[in-house]
Amino acid sequence: MPSNTTAPPAKKKGRRARLIVLALVLALVAGVGCGAYWGVSTVRGSFPQTTGTIRIDALSAPVEVKRDAHGVPQIYADTEADLFRAQGYVQAQDRFYEMDVRRHMTAGRLSEMFGKSQVDTDAFLRTLGWRRVAQQEYDKVLSAETKKNLQAYAEGVNAYLKGRDPSDISVEYAALAFSNDYTIEPWTPVDSVAWLKAMAWDLRGNMQDEIDRSLMTSRLTPAQIKDLYPGYPYELHQPIVDKGAVDKTTGKFDPKADAKDGDDGGTTGGGDAAQGIQSQLAALSESLDDIPALLGPNGNGIGSNSWVVSGKYTTSGKPLLANDPHLAPMLPSLWYQMGLHCRSVSATCRYDVAGYTFSGTPGVIIGHNDSIAWGLTNLGADVTDLYLEKIGTQGYVVDGKVKPFTTRDEVIKVTGGPNRPITIRSTEHGPLLSDRSSELEKVGQKAPVGNAAPDRGTGYGVSLRWTALQPGKSMDAVFALNRAKDFTSFRAAAKDFEVPSQNLIYADTEGNIGYQAPGKIPVRTKAKGYDGTLPAPGWDSSYDWKGYIPFDELPYEYNPDRGYIVTANQAVVDEKKYPYLLTRDWGYGSRSQRINDLIESKTKDGGKISPDDMRTMQMDNRSEIATLLNPLLLKIDIADPQVREAQKLLEGWDYTQEPDSAAAAYFNAVWRNVLKLAFGDKLPKELRVDGECITVRVVDTTAPVDEQNKPVRECGERDPDSAQPDGGDRWYEVVRPLLKQEKNAWWKTPGDRLNAPTETRDQLLAQAMKDARWELTAKLGKDVSTWSWGRLHQLTLTNQTLGTAGPGVVQSLLNRGPWNLGGGEAAVDATGWNAAGGYEVIWVPSMRMVVNVGDWDRSRWINLSGASGHAFHSHYTDQTDMWAKGELLDWPYGKAAVEATTRDTLTLQP
């Protein structure tokens, strides 16, 4: 529930804050002091008209926009073109500033809005070339029908913009007007396509893990790194698809076939190329942190829950489908709820669909039509590889030959300052990311490299190969999903859903349920055991991709015998029983197995699952690591009476993480300190939290004898949102076997001036309990009876461009919260926090829905914030209190249900 009197969130250097520009903040503050200028009329001037009639030249016939009590629109039109024109118009009414920022971000043009502070971010984004690839998709790949829909959407957006001053569109533009002469450009179809690249970027898979493993080599042995990246626990957490195999006769995946142990797609290893490039990869990691995180910190925590239950096990006798994507909390929410209805569904007007959309993109991303429902979670396939490139002035080396770079020149326009020209170089693998960092300009000159490396010469570069940097058809797939009527047409749509690779779940009104793993997923060489977990030597072509997994060979299920399907970022299929390597960096299955267990417990002995049961499962907040660790904590003999007082909180605790739970607060603090002592303080500075310093001994054989192994003070360099150990379910799996090894080396710590060294598990756990007691005393007070998890674990919704680093007056105007939340990292109610960085909520179930298939009007949904992107509008955060409590809103779909809930009707007239 909301809280305004509790402990403030920890200070952080979060990536989302890097969109902040001092000039804009000062301009807004100055504006607040300008009296009448910032009066009620200025604030309300940008609010949308939701009743009456508006004329739009582009329309061919009248369109109705019916909004409910929360401002959620349902659009009714006679033609598809008018439907998407109206979608563009209505989304622009509510969210255009958000849309404008997104398109500047995807195009690497933030400096045009916010000034020189964004030049480096723009340069990195230009190097990736999202907008350039989106243009290629639109010009050469997307279908004529998709282009027509995109163009109609753009016409609707531009109809809204026509004749409006920026300050009439959003209050943020009024602030921008103080500091520059920014003008709004017309919307284009490519602006919509480019947004899918941003979505693909934050769901790109294991790129950060690839960097982190490489950085660890400076301080940890290969065996230690393997400890920190254990294999997926198939014996504990079942994969999505538990049966099926690729039929060698047909060359297709058969979900009914018996899978047998076989080729697992390669063995772990990256060769020697990844060794010794720590400074380069650390700089690359910093560049990644600087990119605005529109979806959230990339890594193990990002994902989603979705599951579908057959009518055999439901109270309705029809399938029930639930979905809640876990993404960054932002204001406004990433999602925009909407219905798109042809008044008469026919061959010429085929859409009758409702669900969650992206502002700036036509169609519905997650939802249902009159025949099927679908949900998405991140599959997590490894679709990126970093290549270490041998570079020189003439080009780069491949198989002993020098190849010329592909180059292009671009100019970054900077408001209030001089333009900055940049040159972008690419190898055959992809853009040379190392060109975007001063530290990376001399890549490899100091780095010791293994025997696999060629002569050092002038150094090395780092390039990126990523499936999303090739033109694809994902926009075609969105419209095809919206029109799909059965599992065959659903799979046909999924075939074009190339990036990001998502788990797609399915249910239809005939009672069928299904699953499809889509995506453009590379096939890597097996000759040298390369599996994409470490950077590859770009000078050796045997490390290049060997095409992509054929769609017909990707795993799927249709009406499995068990009667339900769960996807929560766990392994898709047992890698030993599947001929291709999808990734080695799955989520480790804590959430998915908990959902499986909840379904099984509810349906045993003939039990049935209701829609409310699905909602209750979404709010399940049990800590899985507590079930393993808490019994050990209770057995430790604690002498200090104040630490013992805290320990008593854990007695009788049921492992749930409610906002008012003192036990959850203390346990999570202990868990955080266990990770810090056992692992965090042993990691290289590039992975530890920025500014947190420890004393270490660094062996330097080049130093004089009396200087070798000398203690030094070393400070962390990583953004708190992406530092390690983050405490996710990978760390559950790291710790699980160690709990049975009381004298494992990971339990050893050197101690400090206040604490003795530890040698055993129980000694370290006792130290963590002590440290947690005093940490929470400082944060929550000495009286443990006043402690609560929610006071530590808070959510603040932050305006996406003013962030958290502006003056307090700006934050109070545009930000909302905090809310005290339950749930936690790797719980089903995945209110994620990074144990290295603190307890603040950094990703959330960004929406929740429970679809009652066939009885659509009994479906329910909720958004994180609200329909409006206008800071002072009544629909800015009008769903957040309900979201925080786990409540859902009724989701009208049929014409009668929509009419019954309509509060405002707007007619768009040609």
Helix (H) or strand (E) holding 736: helix 729-738
Whether the per-residue pLDDT at 761 is higher than 80: the answer is: yes
Amino acid present at 704:
P
Whether the per-residue pLDDT at 444 is higher than 70: the answer is: no
In angstroms, the CA 782 to CA 769 distance is 15
Whether the per-residue pLDDT at 356 is higher than 50: the answer is: yes
Whether the per-residue pLDDT at 317 is higher than 50: the answer is: yes
Give me the pLDDT at residue 652, please: 96
Whether the per-residue pLDDT at 82 is higher than 80: the answer is: yes
- Cβ(450)–Cβ(113) below 8 Å: no
- Angstrom CA distances, 716 to 303, 412, 643, 681, 697, stand at 27, 32, 29, 10, 15
Whether the per-residue pLDDT at 184 is higher than 90: the answer is: yes
In angstroms, the CA 16 to CA 19 distance is 6
Sheet hosting strand 63-67, strand order edge to edge: 52-55, 904-909, 63-67, 73-77, 335-342, 352-358, 366-368, 372-378, 502-508, 513-516, 556-558
Helices (H), 203-353: 207-216, 222-228, 278-290
Buried b (16+ CB within 10 A) or exposed e, 491-513: bebbbbbbbbbbbbbbbbbeebb
In angstroms, the CA 864 to CA 337 distance is 11
Give me the pLDDT at residue 19, please: 37
Whether the per-residue pLDDT at 891 is higher than 70: the answer is: yes
Mean pLDDT of the chain: 88
In angstroms, the CA 678 to CA 725 distance is 10
Give me the pLDDT at residue 126, please: 95
Give me the pLDDT at residue 136, please: 98
Q: Which two tokens stand for residue 671?
A: 């868990």
In angstroms, the CA 521 to CA 582 distance is 7
Q: Which of 162-171, 534-543, 552-561, 803-812 has the lowest mean pLDDT?
A: 803-812
- Please report, for the chain, how many H helices and E strands are present, in that order: 25, 31
Q: For residue range 413-423, list pLDDT tens digits in order.
A: 999 899 999 99
Buried b (16+ CB within 10 A) or exposed e, 29-65: bebeeeeeebeeebbebbbbebeeebebebbeeebbb
- Cβ(362)–Cβ(84) below 8 Å: yes
- Cβ(571)–Cβ(589) below 8 Å: yes
In angstroms, the CA 891 to CA 858 distance is 7
Q: For residue range 576-599, list pLDDT tens digits in order.
A: 999 999 999 999 999 999 999 999
Q: What are phi and psi of 901, to 5 degrees?
A: -105, 0
Q: Give the SS3 label for residue 607.
A: coil
Q: Which of 274-283, 531-540, 581-590, 636-645 has the lowest mean pLDDT?
A: 274-283
Give me the pLDDT at residue 462, please: 87
Q: Work out the average pLDDT over 216-231.
A: 93
Give me the pLDDT at residue 512, please: 98
Q: For residue range 463-489, list pLDDT tens digits in order.
A: 999 999 999 999 999 999 999 999 999
- For the chain, how many residues are written? 910
Q: Work out the average pLDDT over 181-185.
A: 88
- Can you list the positions of beta strands (E) in 548-682? 556-558, 564-567
Binning pLDDT at 50, 70 and 90, where does residue 278 land? low
Q: Which of 25-39, 89-103, 347-361 has the lowest mean pLDDT?
A: 25-39
Binning pLDDT at 50, 70 and 90, where does residue 516 land? very high
- Can you list the positions of beta strands (E) in 562-673? 564-567
More confident residue, 172 or 742: 742
Angle between helices 729-738 and 662-678 (to 10 degrees): 70
- Cβ(243)–Cβ(574) below 8 Å: no
Binning pLDDT at 50, 70 and 90, where does residue 258 land? confident
CA 218 to chain CA centroid, nearest Å: 28
Contacts of 217 (CB under 8 A, 6+ apart): 225, 274, 275, 276, 278
| Residue showing tokens 């990536």 | 15
In angstroms, the CA 268 to CA 262 distance is 16
Whether the per-residue pLDDT at 822 is higher than 80: the answer is: yes
Phi-psi category of 251—alpha, beta or left, where left has phi over 0 and alpha has psi -120 to 50? left
More confident residue, 25 or 625: 625
| Partners of residue 515 on adjacent β-strands | 505, 557
Give me the pLDDT at residue 706, please: 57
Whether the per-residue pLDDT at 634 is higher than 70: the answer is: yes
Binning pLDDT at 50, 70 and 90, where does residue 13 land? very low
- Can you list the positions of beta strands (E) in 56-155? 63-67, 73-77
Give me the pLDDT at residue 725, please: 97
More confident residue, 608 or 44: 608
- Residue 795 burial (10 A CB sphere; 0-12, 13-18, 19+): buried
In angstroms, the CA 258 to CA 243 distance is 6
Give me the pLDDT at residue 712, please: 83
Give me the pLDDT at residue 33, please: 43
Give me the pLDDT at residue 24, please: 43
Question: How crowded is the C-beta side of 530, counted as CA atoms within 13 Å?
Answer: 28
- Cβ(861)–Cβ(323) below 8 Å: no
Whether the per-residue pLDDT at 376 is higher than 60: the answer is: yes
- Cβ(797)–Cβ(330) below 8 Å: yes
Give me the pLDDT at residue 450, please: 46
Q: Work out the average pLDDT over 623-627.
A: 98
CA 35 to chain CA centroid, nearest Å: 40
In angstroms, the CA 752 to CA 764 distance is 13
Give me the pLDDT at residue 638, please: 97
Q: Give the SS3 label for residue 340.
A: strand
Sign of CA dihedral 226, 230, 232, 233: positive
More confident residue, 804 or 711: 711
Q: Which of 544-548, 633-637, 807-811 has the lowest mean pLDDT?
A: 807-811
Among 742, 759, 763, smallest CA distance to 750 is for: 759
In angstroms, the CA 292 to CA 825 distance is 22
- Angstrom CA distances, 809 to 25, 430, 870, stand at 10, 44, 17
Q: Give the SS3 label for residue 838.
A: coil
In angstroms, the CA 53 to CA 51 distance is 7
Q: Work out the average pLDDT over 404-429.
A: 95
Amino acid present at 258:
D
Whether the per-residue pLDDT at 369 is higher than 80: the answer is: yes
CA 616 to chain CA centroid, nearest Å: 23
In angstroms, the CA 569 to CA 729 distance is 11
Whether the per-residue pLDDT at 707 is higher than 70: the answer is: no
Q: Give the SS3 label for residue 718.
A: strand
Cis peptide bond upstream of 255, omega within 30: no
Whether the per-residue pLDDT at 425 is higher than 90: the answer is: yes
- Residue 608 burial (10 A CB sphere; 0-12, 13-18, 19+): middle
| Partners of residue 327 on adjacent β-strands | 844
Whether the per-residue pLDDT at 15 is higher than 60: the answer is: no
Angle between helices 80-106 and 189-202 (to 10 degrees): 60
- Can you list the positions of beta strands (E) in 670-801? 693-697, 711-715, 794-797
- Cβ(534)–Cβ(271) below 8 Å: yes
Whether the per-residue pLDDT at 345 is higher than 60: the answer is: yes
Amino acid present at 642:
Q
Q: Which two tokens stand for residue 515?
A: 């699953």
Q: Work out the average pLDDT over 794-803.
A: 78
Whether the per-residue pLDDT at 793 is higher than 70: the answer is: yes
Binning pLDDT at 50, 70 and 90, where does residue 6 land? very low
Give me the pLDDT at residue 809, please: 62
Q: For residue range 686-697, list pLDDT tens digits in order.
A: 899 999 998 887
Mind giving me the DSSP string for 355-404?
Answer: EEEETTS-S-SEEE-SSEEEEEEE-----EEEEEEEB-SS-EEETTEEEP
Q: Which two tokens stand for residue 259?
A: 């899978």
Whether the per-residue pLDDT at 883 is higher than 50: the answer is: yes
